[in-house]
Amino acid sequence: GAGVSQTPSNKVTEKGKYVELRCDPISGHTALYWYRQSLGQGPEFLIYFQGTGAADDSGLPNDRFFAVRPEGSVSTLKIQRTERGDSAVYLCASSLMGQGAGDTQYFGPGTRLTVL
Amino acid sequence: AQSVTQLGSHVSVSEGALVLLRCNYSSSVPPYLFWYVQYPNQGLQLLLKYTTGATLVKGINGFEAEFKKSETSFHLTKPSAHMSDAAEYFCAVSETRDDKIIFGKGTRLHILP
């Protein structure tokens, strides 16, 4: 079956602009995660959805970052007033159940965001 | 708070030699432990994970890891390296009541012919 997909694969924007990054999880997966991977670093947790609700958003760096999952499937990560420090690869993952079950998280290929 | 330390940002081994990638973790509750691999220009792929039960975990591509609670370690091994094993490897931890994964900084494995 299809894996996690993310669009766009690459996004170049100018400082101060607004961007949206999309994630399509594996069909039937209730849990969805966003991570950010900067150059030379491991992925860093941003936010986790269980169904439509954000179960843990403790990793969002500031209020410029926001994510939604209105129908419990597709999710959009939104970044306002982008800064050069936001440049990174944004990874999305999904798992069947979440809820602390140690489920395997399946990762998408990522969106590479470059802020000029 | 959870954390992961991977010893060595780069490791080089000869083809056919033993692969050993070291990982130590800290967690206030029993952890779930993971190794992920990232091949060039590809997404993260789960190699293996420890949740409960047997402490020696076998994964894909001949890799295995052993959970040692007394040493807070989860080192990754493979008896004989193959050129196709060249990639970046990430050790990660999550807590049993939580779902966010905390990743280490990664170890890039180079295979020498």
At A8-23, the pLDDT tens digits run 999 999 999 999 999 9
Instruction: Round the average pLDDT of chain A to a whole number and report it.
Output: 93
Q: Of A98, A102, A108, which has the smallest distance from its Cβ to B43's Cβ?
A: A108
Label residue A40 by pLDDT band (50, 70, 90).
confident
Residue length, chain B?
113
High-pLDDT (> 70) share of chain A, %: 97
Distance (Å, rounded) from C-alpha B78 to C-alpha B80? Answer: 6
CB spacing of B44 vs A42 below 8 angstroms: no
pLDDT in tens, B22-71: 999 998 788 899 999 999 878 899 999 998 888 999 999 999 999 999 99
Q: Is the model's pLDDT at B77 over the cut of 90? A: yes
Backbone conformation region of residue B97, classed left if phi is above 0, alpha if psi is from -120 to 50, else beta: alpha
pLDDT of residue B96 exceeding 70? no
Determine the distance in angstroms separating the CA of B95 from the nearest CA of chain A, rounded to an integer: 7
Q: Which of A44, A100, A107 sits opposite B44 (nearest CB)?
A: A107
Which of B92, B100, B102 has the CB atom closest to A56's CB atom? B100
Q: What is the token pair recorded at A33?
A: 């995660």
Give residue B53's pLDDT.
Answer: 86
Predicted confidence at residue B40, as pLDDT, reads: 83
Burial of A34 (0-12, 13-18, 19+ CB in 10 A): buried
Inter-chain CB proximity A95 and B99 less than 8 Å: yes
* Residue position matching structure tokens 């958003």: A57
Contact A55 B104 (CB under 8 A): no
Q: Which is more confident, A55 or B109?
A: B109
